[in-house]
Structure 1
């Protein structure tokens, strides 16, 4: 029993050091001395027979064994916390910290409103949001949730569908007035188009109509890896852009942009809320997951993701 108790404290010390990146910060969080925390981590490494942390003068780096063991330490800690919540009279009071990552454009369009709505209901929960076009490693980087499309799904993640992202072709009225009439997808090859350099195949556009697919390779003098920049370029009359409908909905509504080849469609792409598989999901994570799924099912949001 003493060994189990000792191992639990060692595991919690290790997890806190790994997550904070510092023995000093971990000691402060655990209300223990730095020497005590260091001793616990060293004892854990000795007991396991592996090095969990590489210590340099500037930073701490998890070894491969450390990354693996950290996930189990988190599960241990989360299971204990979940058990305490289950028998607590304040179970409904969600607290703690959630880490979430999402594509920049999706976050700009939806997540501020959603997270403020959630925190209004659960003010003691802190949410750390990372917006990036770079795919994060949820387990390795310690994220609880991510927004992903099928391009970026891993088999070890659980995915909850939130809706469909539909791309549309748009341009400014002034730009189209300067071009010959566009009647078919093949006509796109002869006009300036805006390319998204984040996707390797973005110059290959595939449109559909009446069950028939129409592929065209486009080109243009302007390219960027940010949807907002491409939208601004389209509004400025630089060329035709292929963008998610939620990105251009307002500009279409007020006439700054108009649809191009509206009789043709681009196959939609599902968007998911994803999270790592865990034997015991923390209560706060379950509450957040259910809230996000319900929030995007609201007709106002579903209209942009359907």
Structure 2
């Protein structure tokens, strides 16, 4: 595997690792990275199957274990021996939940955007169905409607054919109309047809976790930015998170799924504030001592 990696800012500053989702590349973070780079060391990479990185064949190449190995390699290359501040969007956030729950020692903080932990989603769904009320059933059904495409991506061959037949143009137009996110140089990427076709492996390799959830808990200080107009991830999925994440902050924002593009000022401000809170904690404790 070859992973394409980008760095901005001063390496002596706190490192912020930005992980993109599907079917994006590192470029979805351009506006946020520019705002953070003045006071942070910003690291981004194209995840496997996207952009300038390698594209493994078969669903096994996209399993969580492979994604975690990639992230460790990026951390070792860009911030050796340091704990970084992790930020993930969409599938970048889904895999980042796996990271902070399985190798928490590598991270100083975590910011999640529009990408829940699959184990938490499964437990949230089971809890809503175990003791059904009209409200809980509406919420579970609402997330089911939002997740319609997951079933499509389990089909063999068809999703790849759709991406290569022109789905990328539909995706770009939907961003402009539904999200108010105009196309610009780098996003959506020119590699979008291949990225979309390759990235369905993420869904085929990992959605089994919804049927067999594992106990997932993290003590990494976590904030969840919740776009209240997200067409794919229900804002209600944050319910029950305090059971799994003791140090938790929730940041609602009136925006759609691609909030790193539509509200980069707010995202960068919240990330920088979260980083500062965590970084200032040890310094404040030393001063008090």
- Asked if TM exceeds 0.5, the reply is no
Larger radius of gyration: 1
**More helix as a share of residues:** 2
**More strand as a share of residues:** 1
**Which is bigger in relative contact order (C-alpha 8 A, separation at least 6)?**
2
TM-score by length of 2: 0.29
